[in-house]
Amino acid sequence: MSEVQGQQRYQVLKHKYVGLGREHTTQEEWLSNVHRDTYHSLQAHSGLLEYLALAQGSSSKRQTKIQLIKKMDQNKSRPNES
């Protein structure tokens, strides 16, 4: 694969997967995006949410979902604080 093809493929993936970041994305910003995406995925999938609630000894899936949403919000505001 030529360098031009590799760059074009990277641009397509970067457009498709926003989480890849940009040239100026810091490690902390990227890590915050990964954490936020993980929390979103866990709260959006009923089976994963139930598993997590049981593993944490939580009283309900709803309570666990609320905790995950709060963590997503905390991670979103963290990079702006510094």
- At residue 52, the pLDDT reads 92
Q: In this predicted model, what pLDDT tens digit does every residue of 20-67 receive, in sequence order?
A: 777 788 888 888 888 888 889 998 999 999 999 999 998 899 999 999
Give the whole-angstrom CA distance, residue 56 versus residue 22: 35
pTM of the model: 0.64
Q: What are phi and psi of 26, to 5 degrees?
A: -80, 165
- The token pair at 65 is 């979902």
- At residue 61, the pLDDT reads 92
Give the whole-angstrom CA distance, residue 3 versus residue 9: 10
- At residue 75, the pLDDT reads 67
pLDDT tier for residue 78 given thresholds of 50, 70 and 90? low
